[in-house]
Structure formats: C-alpha cells, structure tokens
Structure 1
Amino acid sequence: MAKTMEPNVNVNEVSRISTGTIFKGEISSSNDIRIDGTFEGKIYSKGRVVVGEKACIKGDIICTNVDFWGSMEGNFFVKDTLSLKSSSKVNGNLHIKRLQVELDAKFDGSCHMINEAEFDKLVGGSAADSAAAKKPVNSDNS
C-alpha cells in the first residue's frame, strides 16, 4: 500500500500587491502584507507590513511591525517596530513604539513614541481588533 505524502505548507501566508498593480481602498489582514505596487487607502494588519523599494503609498498603515523601502504620504500607527530602510521616503506622522532608521532614509513629519496602551487608544483597539472588525461578512449565511 503506497503512502501519500502531504507537502509542507507555510502556515504564515502573505497577502501581496505586486509591482504594476494599483489598489485603492482598505486592506485588513490577520497575516503579513507585502506591497510592491501603488496603494491608496488604509492598511490594517495583525502582522508585518513590508513595503518594497518601488512601492508608493498614500494613506495610513496600522499594524504590528513595518519594514519600509518605498515612498509614502500618510501616517504610521505601529504597535512595535517601524524600520525605515535607506531608500525610504516618508512624508507623514509616526506613532510607534520603536524606530530603526538606516542612513539615507528620508522622513518629514513628527514622531510620537507610544506604548501598547497608547497604540490601542489611537487606533480604537489593537491592529488585531481592527483587522477582525473589518472582516467581510459572508453573504451566504442568512
């Protein structure tokens, strides 16, 4: 009797907006998000948001951690660490617990160092709650 093997699957899925994609609206995820295209709106994530070097964002990012290489006009609300990489260009306000800035990163705005309670107060709950609250309703259920 032959035994079938199930492939190993990475349980940490990543939602992705690829280069050449333009998205306008709101994204809510309990997983990580990677943006390499153009995004206008709000991003809510319980996990990490990674913004690639060619990405352009206009709006707000509300999440646990951010690795940022692209350009942004908007505000960060980060429960833990925002890492501005050398190619990043940010015009907006930071509300964060920790900040890492590489040489040549550009930032124009104000920086407010906050703790978890202040984060929850600013965003009306945690990023996890925000993502859960934005969860779509299944229209198949009556």
Structure 2
Amino acid sequence: MGKTEPQVNINSVSRISAGTTFKGEMISPADIRIDGRFEGKLYTDGKVVVGETAEVSGDVVCSNIDIWGKIDGNLFIRDITSFKAGCAVNGNIQVRKLIVELGSTFNGTCKMITEAEYDSVARQYRPEKKQPASQKPEKK
C-alpha cells in the first residue's frame, strides 16, 4: 500500500494570535488568520484574514484576503482582495477583484490580473510536491 498525501480539513485555520510574532516563510494549504505580527513570505491556497491588531511585513500569495489591520508588502491574490475600513496597506497588489471600503488606506499600485497571470507569479512561491520514490528519475 502506497503513501497518500495528507488530507486537509477544509475547516482548519492556521493562526497567528495577538501578541505572537512569526518571522520567516509560512506555507499552508489551509486558511490563515493573523492577529499578531508576521514578517516574511506567506503562501496559502486558501484565504488570509488580517485582523485589526495584525501587522504584516512581506509578500502574501493566496486565493482571497480580507484586511482589517496593517500590511507593508506585496500582495498576489488569485481572486478577491478586500480592504476593510481602518486598514492600512503599503505596497503593490496584483489581484482579479478589489473591494475598498470607505476609511481604508492604500499607498501603492494595483494591477488587475487574470488567473493565468496569478498562476505564473504564484508558481514562484508554491511549494513543489514531492514525487513518490517510484516516479523519481534514476540517477546514473
């Protein structure tokens, strides 16, 4: 019997709580909620929620994002970016759909992209799936 990829619970959420600082690269198949401080690169196939107390510094690549807190960095979003009232975003975004609420702050550039353009950018961040040993090329 061969190994299978672990199943991801669609209801699971990776979380950085208020008062917590994470520095580095975070890669997750699940949704991510940030209420603390994040510095680095973040990649998920799911949704990212940046809470009111959150401070994010770095690149974010995800399917959708809701921002209530602060972000300094570049955003590459497959579908919807939502700037909520009170948020502050400094950086460049590439997205298919943008929602901006009254009272949000955005300093940067916005490029509307296609899903193919997103996939091209996301490929740089997406972790490579390991091939089973039986499918790996033979070394000579």
TM-score between both structures, scaled by the size of structure 2:
0.82
Q: Evaluate the alpha carbon distance shift between residue 134 and residue 103 of structure 1 in structure 2; reply closer, same or farther with a 3 A threshold.
A: farther
Amino acid at match of 1:20: G
Which residue pairs with 2:102 in the alignment? Answer: 103
Distance 2:68 2:59 in 1: 16
Distance 2:50 2:10 in 1: 21
Amino acid at match of 1:58: S
Q: CA deviation at 1:12?
A: 1.4
Q: CA deviation at 1:11?
A: 4.4
Alignment deviations for residues 59-89 of structure 1 (CA, whole Å, 9 cap, x no partner): 0110000011010110000000000000110
Distance 1:82 1:21 in 2: 24
Amino acid at match of 2:94: H
**Identity across the alignment (%):** 52
Structure 2 unaligned segments of length 5 or more: list them.
1-8, 131-140
Alignment deviations for residues 3-36 of structure 1 (CA, whole Å, 9 cap, x no partner): xxxxxxx741000000000110011111100000
1:133 aligns with 2:128: yes
CA contact (8 A) 1:97 1:113 kept: yes
Distance 2:31 2:129 in 1: 16
Distance 2:94 2:35 in 1: 23
Alignment deviations for residues 30-57 of structure 1 (CA, whole Å, 9 cap, x no partner): 1100000000001101010000001001
Distance 2:129 2:53 in 1: 28
CA contact (8 A) 2:10 2:30 kept: no
Q: CA deviation at 1:133?
A: 2.6
Structure 1 runs of 4+ off > 3 angstroms? none
Specify the SS of the correspondent of 2:78: strand
Considering Cα pairs closer than 8 Å and 6+ residues apart, tell me whether 1 or 2 has the greater RCO: 1
1:81 aligns with 2:80: yes
Q: CA deviation at 1:97?
A: 0.4
Which residue pairs with 2:112 in the alignment? Answer: 113
Aligned length: 122
Q: Evaluate the alpha carbon distance shift between residue 134 and residue 51 of structure 1 in structure 2; reply closer, same or farther with a 3 A threshold.
A: farther
CA contact (8 A) 2:94 2:112 kept: yes
Which residue pairs with 2:122 in the alignment? Answer: 123
Which residue pairs with 2:50 in the alignment? Answer: 51
TM-score between both structures, scaled by the size of structure 1:
0.81
